[in-house]
Structure 1
Amino acid sequence: MPLSTTINWATLQNGSDIRGVALAGVPGEPVNLTPAVVTTLGQAFATWLSAELGLPTTELTIAIGRDSRLSGPELMGAAIAGMTSLGCRVLDVAMASTPAMFMSTVLPEFACHGAIMMTASHLPFNRNGLKFFTRQGGLGKADISRILELAEQGSFAPATAPGSVESRDLIGAYAAGLVQQIRQSVNHPENFDQPLQGLNIIVDAGNGAGGFFAAQVLEPLGADTTGSQFLDPDGTFPNHVPNPENEAAMASICQAVVAQGADFGLIFDTDVDRSAAVDADGRELNRNRLIALIAAIVLHEHPGTTIVTDSTTSDGLTQFIEGDLGGIHHRFRRGYKNVINEAIRLNEAGQPSWLAIEASGHGAMKENYFLDDGAYLASKLLVELAKTRLSGQRLTNLLAPLQDPHDSQEYRLKILAPEAQVYGAEVMTQMKDFVATQADWAIVPNTYEGVRVACQSPAENGWFMVRMSLHDPVLPLNIESTVPGGVAKIAERLQTFFSSLAELDITALEQ
């Protein structure tokens, strides 16, 4: 029986990526991303790209790289087999980062028509996936759906002669570009080549693909990387989840900075499209604080620009961007592609937007192809770190006006109804009616997803937001307050509303 008829291809789509289970051994998670499946996906991408560009597959050059996952080498070989079977020239760049894979399409020494990154970001070790790029950037949901349709059809015409495979050092070229960008941006008056000399900067790569940053970016710039940890790729991720949103991961890098007495710390996710930082006091620069810091840098370079973020960012961040920095804060929907595409749309409409960033650490800049690139984001912070040091200041002085929330929590409320999207929409409609009965609660206007509510009583002084999850039958509930006990008070009032909904599991909120 042909493979195309035995696989439910649509289930492999995860937004604008393809993801699946690549390794057996986890109960209840059967393998669905096999070498045979990935060979077909390689053929499907080459066929899709051929149609998009109006070129025969025999004239395409496609780069492929991977993160540190255990299944990476075998699945990468399978994808290469698929593409070369159609006559493509394939550049095997081995271990790489997701942003570097995009850069293979724009760096003149590579000039690829397309690229594939084998990664499942921060997901567990048994998962893997594929991210696709053209010279226009990462593919969107509709493109992924079309590639999966082609895979399901399975009608590929093999080339008369297989394509070639070449090994190339992409990460070296990518790192060299970051080094040069930092040197030029700092423009150190006495030490142009090593503007980070005298700074101890720790890198935590979480055993993902980001270990190169210490030796190939920081050290050529003169930084002391003593104390860096988990730089070696290891697909079992033995130390912590490579994810800047993970509490254990952030605690680990914060502790390392304090123990080493370092000046700065950087942490990357598995495939380096996200990052976060730690200051010299061991305080994390993550989520709202990371957005605030990069926004301060961008608004100094581009006064008045619009900063696009996802919908869950804090009121204090809005005050900082608009009241203190003179910019515009445009909260949009969750999902890093949504945030990036909205910034691109604003620019096309004549409203300058130089930064699109999600609280998860996905940050993309107009000056860098609107590519969500954790290493480029880190490089912007390093430039400012060097500049503030030259002027006798501290980088975190930029954050002095930012009002941090006293507490913030996210609760994931499971939808038990069979039609999750329909039920979620009903819940939010009822939520609006409930809020209308609360004297000191008010719905925030111009919200692009869900329901956001300002809680104005002095005992609460915060906000909450209910929205539909992008992928799961879940209503995420975010609550934030600037006063002690405020989150608990808001949560308690919300239980009155949620407890009347029979098809919603609110155990997380009750705990």
Structure 2
Amino acid sequence: MQDDHRHYVLEYVNFLRGFLCDDVDTSNAVFDCSNGAAGPIIERLFPDSIIVNGKPDGNFPNHAPDPLHAGSLDMLMCKVVSERADIGIIFDADGDRAFFVDDTGRSVDPDVIAYLLLWSLRPEKFISEVKAGWLIKQQSLGAKRTESKTGHYFFKQAIRKHGAEFGHEESGHYYFKDFFYCDSGIMAAIEVLNAITKLPYTLSEFVDLLPNTYISAEINFSVPFAAHDALLARIERTYAKDAAHRSTLDGITLEFNNPDWWFNVRFSNTEPLARLRVEARDTHVYDAQLKKLTELLKNSKQKG
């Protein structure tokens, strides 16, 4: 049984290696496997790289296995800086998500990584969330973009239905047609390494060249399931009349002109939560609208 396991691991590593460009130098990349499932694969796939937390350990002794958890990226950031590495890559517990740190030790937003992959892969079609930022919505590099509701189930359906070569979620999931239309943190790592090899500058310089906007991560608010409809109605009454564009594909998304900003409010299917994301081109608009929406959502429990 152990020999069979080793055989399957090697088969998988060889399959993944086929996607790595020949000129990619991985010796200056740092991988944090979070003591999860990716470790044994990464150690074989990138033997010359700097690897931390590579041994699987269900107690997760070094940091939480969710890269979105506060503090989970700290070790990787420090290691990238101390090793003067080109990039840092961290996986979650089961390896289906990946997050990235640039050569200055700065966390790179998943929308930026998705844009980098669009530039490198040049897909004809790709799938993004309704709540993707302007970087993805307005600069698709010639690819046809289709929006999907957030979540594995919806994304896997959408990428197959539309024959898309690529898809991405802000939560760190990256989907590839060549990976059976599924998400893979390791596949994302390979394609990002391929992409930065093509760049005429560092990853941090690539990030700094992109248009600057003010965009929030998703912010959670406690909202009972029974209050969802009332909250949506309140949002409609407050904002819809001034919106230039409206979508109800996933919660409600409203976009505005003069000043330019947008927001999305959607609901968790499993928890009594509303999730908010806001983006604006001007910091004062961003701060004001985020404050106003935060107050509305905080009050929804009492008024719902």
Fold similarity call, TM over 0.5? yes
1:243 lines up with 2:69 in the alignment: no
Match of 1:445 among 236, 246, 260: 246
> 1:167 deviation in Å?
4.9
CA separation of 1:504 and 1:311: change in aligned 2, threshold 3 A: farther
Match of 1:476 among 259, 270, 275: 275
Q: Measure, in 1, the Cα distance between the counterparts of 2:130 and 2:77.
A: 27
Partner of 1:288, secondary structure, is: helix
In the TM superposition, what are the counterparts of 1:356-435 in structure 2 within 5 Å?
356-388=167-199, 393-395=201-203, 402-416=210-224, 420=225, 422-435=226-239
Match of 1:335 among 130, 151, 166: 151
> 1:427 deviation in Å?
1.8
The amino acid of 1:453's aligned partner reads L
Whose RCO is larger (CA < 8 A, sep 6+)? 2
Query: Does 243-252 or 469-478 show the bigger shift?
Result: 243-252
CA separation of 1:490 and 1:382: change in aligned 2, threshold 3 A: same
In the TM superposition, what are the counterparts of 1:22-33 in structure 2 within 5 Å?
none
Q: Measure, in 2, the Cα distance between the counterparts of 1:424 and 1:372.
A: 30
In the TM superposition, what are the counterparts of 1:79-98 in structure 2 within 5 Å?
none
The C-alpha deviation readout for 1:207-248, integer Å capped at 9, x for no partner, is 1122224420112xxx4x24x321122211122112232341
> 1:423 deviation in Å?
2.8
Match of 1:278 among 77, 101, 114: 101
CA separation of 1:495 and 1:501: change in aligned 2, threshold 3 A: same
In the TM superposition, what are the counterparts of 1:70-109 in structure 2 within 5 Å?
none
Q: Measure, in 1, the Cα distance between the counterparts of 2:72 and 2:136.
A: 24
> 1:442 deviation in Å?
0.7
1:215 lines up with 2:38 in the alignment: no
Q: Measure, in 2, the Cα distance between the counterparts of 1:238 and 1:412.
A: 27
In the TM superposition, what are the counterparts of 1:192-207 in structure 2 within 5 Å?
195-196=24-25, 199-207=27-35
Partner of 1:296, secondary structure, is: helix
Q: Measure, in 2, the Cα distance between the counterparts of 1:268 and 1:470.
A: 25
Q: Measure, in 2, the Cα distance between the counterparts of 1:294 and 1:250.
A: 22
The number of aligned residues is: 304
Q: Measure, in 2, the Cα distance between the counterparts of 1:308 and 1:495.
A: 29
CA separation of 1:495 and 1:233: change in aligned 2, threshold 3 A: closer
Q: Measure, in 2, the Cα distance between the counterparts of 1:207 and 1:217.
A: 16
CA contact under 8 A between 2:223 and 2:300: conserved in structure 1?
Answer: no
* Partner residue in 2 for 1:260: 83
User: Which structure 2 segments of 5+ residues have no match?
Assistant: none
Q: Measure, in 1, the Cα distance between the counterparts of 2:110 and 2:148.
A: 15
> 1:393 deviation in Å?
4.1
Q: Measure, in 2, the Cα distance between the counterparts of 1:405 and 1:213.
A: 37
> 1:504 deviation in Å?
5.7
The C-alpha deviation readout for 1:124-152, integer Å capped at 9, x for no partner, is xxxxxxxxxxxxxxxxxxxxxxxxxxxxx
Match of 2:162 among 341, 346, 366: 346
- TM-score, reference length from structure 1: 0.54
CA separation of 1:501 and 1:400: change in aligned 2, threshold 3 A: closer
CA contact under 8 A between 2:246 and 2:254: conserved in structure 1?
Answer: no
> Quick check: which has more Rg, 1 or 2?
1
1:291 lines up with 2:120 in the alignment: no
User: Which structure 1 segments of 5+ residues have no match?
Assistant: 1-91, 95-165, 189-194, 348-352, 506-511
Partner of 2:264, secondary structure, is: strand
Q: Measure, in 1, the Cα distance between the counterparts of 2:190 and 2:272.
A: 37
Match of 2:55 among 225, 232, 237: 232
CA contact under 8 A between 1:331 and 1:447: conserved in structure 2?
Answer: no
> 1:173 deviation in Å?
1.9
CA contact under 8 A between 1:434 and 1:497: conserved in structure 2?
Answer: no
CA separation of 1:495 and 1:203: change in aligned 2, threshold 3 A: closer
The C-alpha deviation readout for 1:1-38, integer Å capped at 9, x for no partner, is xxxxxxxxxxxxxxxxxxxxxxxxxxxxxxxxxxxxxx
The amino acid of 1:288's aligned partner reads D
CA contact under 8 A between 1:205 and 1:231: conserved in structure 2?
Answer: yes
The amino acid of 1:482's aligned partner reads R
Partner of 1:475, secondary structure, is: strand
CA contact under 8 A between 2:227 and 2:300: conserved in structure 1?
Answer: no
Q: Measure, in 2, the Cα distance between the counterparts of 1:423 and 1:401.
A: 43
> 1:471 deviation in Å?
1.2
Q: Measure, in 2, the Cα distance between the counterparts of 1:329 and 1:488.
A: 29
The amino acid of 1:343's aligned partner reads I
* Partner residue in 1 for 2:138: 319
The amino acid of 1:178's aligned partner reads L
The amino acid of 1:332's aligned partner reads S
Identity %: 22
> 1:395 deviation in Å?
5.0
